[in-house]
Amino acid sequence: MFNGLIAYLDSIKARDPAPRTRWEILLYPGLLAVGMHRIAHWLFEADMFFLARLVNHISRWLTAIDIHPGAKIGRHLFIDHGFTVIGETAEIGDNVTIYQCVTLGGTDPANGVGGKRHPTLCDDVIVGSGAQILGPVTVMERARVGANAVVTKDVPEGAVMVGIPARSTLLDASEYSRDFVPYGTPCNETFDPATQKVEILQCQLEVMQKQLAALIAERETAEEGEAPARKGGRKSA
């Protein structure tokens, strides 16, 4: 158990440049919220719903993070700051990072029967501050949801989602499949959180320039192939 706690603290330290020691992380509201959720979820699974809700209520009062006792959470979830809401049927994989003011919210089932109403976040997902992920959608491995984005459809593996409604940028997952980068998904190593939008636009521009260059080269090749054919046609005439 002690080794598991140390590994959890180290996983948070690897994703947050602020703490100097593990002791600081023990004071994080996200750590307390996840710890109390483990207790609440155990009570919920044992059908002790009132006690589960009581633990949830105390946790919300202490941390400003509301995790329904029914939510299923994997290993090493890092909630950076408070005001996050995680619904009853939400499922969260391992090494997921959620920044402040995020909602994993539910939608009304079409048939009026309760069931899976909240999102599923797979392993290594990062959700930016203020993002809303609504309904029984699945955010696949290593996907990143930008700040204030609203996700209402499934997100493919490695995608970077921005906007309202959220749409995938032209970034390729292979471009940034490296060590965790706090606060966002930069195009280069000199990244400043204040310029995240500019960075994403620069990435999109680079990709479009490459696509345009490929189209021009393809057209030139086709024209060069058509020129000898036209000359041959004139000689035969």
Backbone phi, then psi, for 165, in 5-degree steps? Answer: -70, 160
- Cα 174 to its chain centre, rounded Å, is 16
To which residue do tokens 């959620």 refer? 98
pLDDT digits (tens, 9 = 90+) for 124-148: 999 999 999 999 999 999 999 998 9
Question: Of 121, 156, 122, whose CA–CA distance to 135 is shortest?
Answer: 121
Strand partners, 92: 73, 121
pLDDT digits (tens, 9 = 90+) for 22-53: 999 999 999 999 999 999 999 999 999 999 99
On the question of pLDDT at 84 being above 70, the answer is yes
Confidence of residue 153 (pLDDT cuts 50, 70, 90): very high
Cα first-last separation, the chain: 88
Q: Residue 187: its pLDDT value, please?
A: 43
Buried b (16+ CB within 10 A) or exposed e, 87-98: bbbbbbbebbbb
pLDDT digits (tens, 9 = 90+) for 211-232: 888 888 888 888 777 766 666 6
Confidence of residue 182 (pLDDT cuts 50, 70, 90): low
Q: Is the dihedral of CA 67, 68, 69, 73 positive or negative?
A: negative
pLDDT digits (tens, 9 = 90+) for 4-16: 889 999 999 999 8
3 state SS of 234 = helix
At 63, list the tokens.
Answer: 């941390």
- Cα 62 to its chain centre, rounded Å, is 25
On the question of pLDDT at 161 being above 50, the answer is yes
Burial class from Cβ neighbours inside 10 Å (0-12, 13-18, 19+) for residue 112 reads: exposed
